[in-house]
Amino acid sequence: MNALTNGFRSFLRDRRANFAIITALLMPVFLLTFGMLFEGGRGLAYYSQSKRVIAQACERSTKPTRTNVPLDEVRRKNVLDTFDALIRSTNQKVVSREVKIDWLTTNINAKFTYKTMLGGMFDVEKMDYELTYRCGGIPPYPYDGEVIVNNTFDVLNGANRILKHGKSPTTPNGCWGVYSYEELGWDGGAGPGIELQDWSNAECRKRHGWQGYEEPEKGDAALCGTTSTDPKDTKKNDKSKEVDQQKENDKGGSSSQQANQCPAKTDDPQKASMLSVQKIPPTKYVVELDSNWDGQKRRDANSSIFKIVELHPGEYEVSVWYNGRNDAYGGTNDIDIFLQVQRPQLGPEKKIIEMSQKGKVFWERRSYSITVDTYSVYKLTIAAGGKSDSIGGIITAFEVKYVDSPK
């Protein structure tokens, strides 16, 4: 008995024996901890990958403009396709995924599973988890000064046009023609189409009674923003010019060297600020929307054209060059511009701009300030107003520019 006791005490005092005992006792704890950490790390990595994939699929596939991808079912498919492409880089199985899209948000729900490597010791062969993600679908705002719509009506496929009617030895390229909305870069319209006219040709202007194109005359009030110089001033030296200028300023008048002042911009969106009133439009071709039916005996000639545009909240500048065509055509040369909300529900069509000239007609660049309160896809329409008689107002160089975001 004593020998057995002494032997056991000797064994306990042996360090190697102690280490073996402790290792045997702690091995299950070590394996359990290692397994938990290993599988936990794998699970966290898969979770992070899946969360990143869902976020990228949502953001990439719902941020394109609504004018390019307007339909919810198309946007939903784009989200699913992006998700499926990105998730392939992970070694896990997607049990299910579902995407719900409304006007402003996208919701993704996905269920995943993956096989464990050390789960056998815990009697867990696979791990399942579920993720949901929600993102806003409004694309980024335009930058200040970005042009949203720009249409000069000037060229087709980079080449000057040969107009259908009015060809002669003095007008070999024709004077006018009626074209489809799509051909001139618009989404649609009503009426006979868009009538293009070549105002750069003096014979065309004379033949069809197109007025308001003549060169500016001395002292004409229409010379807004220009500088006129009296020929007599060229005989004066710089010093005498300064003296004359000072005398005119002291009298409260303006010298012939002083630029004519333009009317200040108005806060009323229905009133235009004439930034520059000239006698020559900036483009060769211009557009009339009280268009001829081109051979058909019809008098309902008022046309309209429209674009589908995406507008964010903020201030916009709508500018267009306008001419009343002929002094005698007041009441038949009106041009109106409308906006209509398209999504998520169709809204009423609202007239935002009215243009007309009565009496003497001339070319002028009109600029209007409008404010958009609600993000949406809008139908932007330009329509002939007044009497429908195939004789109406003329426009060119139409532009919509984003000025500033809401404060």
74 CB neighbour count, 10 Å cutoff: 13
Residue 315: half-sphere exposure toward Cβ, Cα within 13 Å: 12
User: pLDDT exceeding 70 applies to what percent of the chain?
Assistant: 71
Mind spelling out the 3-state secondary structure of the chain?
Answer: CHHHHHHHHHHHHCHHHHHHHHHHHHHHHHHHHHHHHHHHHHHHHHHHHHHHHHHHHHHHHHCCCCCCCCCHHHHHHHHHHHHHHHHCCCCCEEEEEEEEECCCEEEEEEEEEEECCCHHHHCCCEEEEEEEEEEECCCCCCCCCCEEEEECCCCECCECCCCCECCECCECCCCEEEECCHHHCCCEEECCCEEEEECCCHHHHHHHCCCCCCCCCCCCCCCCCCCCCCHHHHHCCHHHHHHHHHHHHHCCCCCCCCCCCCCCCCCCCCCCEEEECCCCCCCCEEEECECCCCCCCCCCCECEEEEEEEECCEEEEEEEEEECCCHHHCCCCCEEEEEEECCCCCCCEEEEEEECCCCCCCCEEEEEEEEECCCEEEEEEEEECCCCCCCCCEEEEEEEEEEECCC
What's residue 266's pLDDT?
Answer: 40
Encoded tokens for 378: 């809008």
Residues of the domain holding 397: 147-225+260-404
Contacts of 105 (CB under 8 A, 6+ apart): 134, 135, 136, 137
In a domain, 248, yes or no: no
How does pLDDT run across 97-114, given as a tens digit for each residue? 999 998 889 999 999 988
Q: What is the mean pLDDT of residues 128-153?
A: 89
CATH number at residue 193: 2.60.120.260
How does pLDDT run across 382-392, given as a tens digit for each residue? 999 988 888 89
How does pLDDT run across 217-228, given as a tens digit for each residue? 544 443 343 333
Encoded tokens for 24: 């045997």
Residue 169 has pLDDT above 60, yes or no: yes
Asked if 175 and 320 sit in the same domain, the reply is yes
In a domain, 400, yes or no: yes
Asked if 82 and 211 sit in the same domain, the reply is no
What's residue 249's pLDDT?
Answer: 41
In a domain, 249, yes or no: no
| Euclidean distance between the first and the last CA atom of the chain, given in angstroms as a whole number | 96
Tell me the pLDDT band of 214, cut-offs 50, 70 and 90: low
How far, in whole angstroms, is CA 231 from its chain's centroid? 48
Residue 144 has pLDDT above 60, yes or no: yes
Asked if 78 and 175 sit in the same domain, the reply is no
Q: Taking all residues of the chain, what is their mean pLDDT, rounded to a whole number? A: 79
Cβ pair 392, 333 in contact under 8 A: yes
Q: What is the mean pLDDT of residues 58-68?
A: 85
Domain boundary among 83, 116, 136: 136
What's residue 26's pLDDT?
Answer: 57
Residue from 225, 163, 212 nearest 329 by CA: 212
Asked if 337 and 193 sit in the same domain, the reply is yes
Tell me the pLDDT band of 298, cut-offs 50, 70 and 90: confident
Domain boundary among 136, 164, 187: 136
Asked if 321 and 365 sit in the same domain, the reply is yes
Residue 170 has pLDDT above 80, yes or no: yes
Q: Distances in Å between the alpha carbon of 191 and those of 106, 301, 305?
A: 39, 6, 9
In a domain, 237, yes or no: no
Cβ pair 366, 281 in contact under 8 A: no
* Tokens 């789960």 belong to residue: 119
In a domain, 46, yes or no: yes
pTM of the model: 0.71
Cβ pair 131, 57 in contact under 8 A: no
Mind spelling out the 3-state secondary structure of 128-154?
Answer: EEEEEEEEECCCCCCCCCCEEEEECCC
Q: How far apart are CA 289 and CA 384, in angstroms?
A: 5
Residue 83 has pLDDT above 90, yes or no: yes
In a domain, 168, yes or no: yes
In a domain, 34, yes or no: yes
What's residue 256's pLDDT?
Answer: 31
User: What is the number of structural domains in the chain?
Assistant: 2
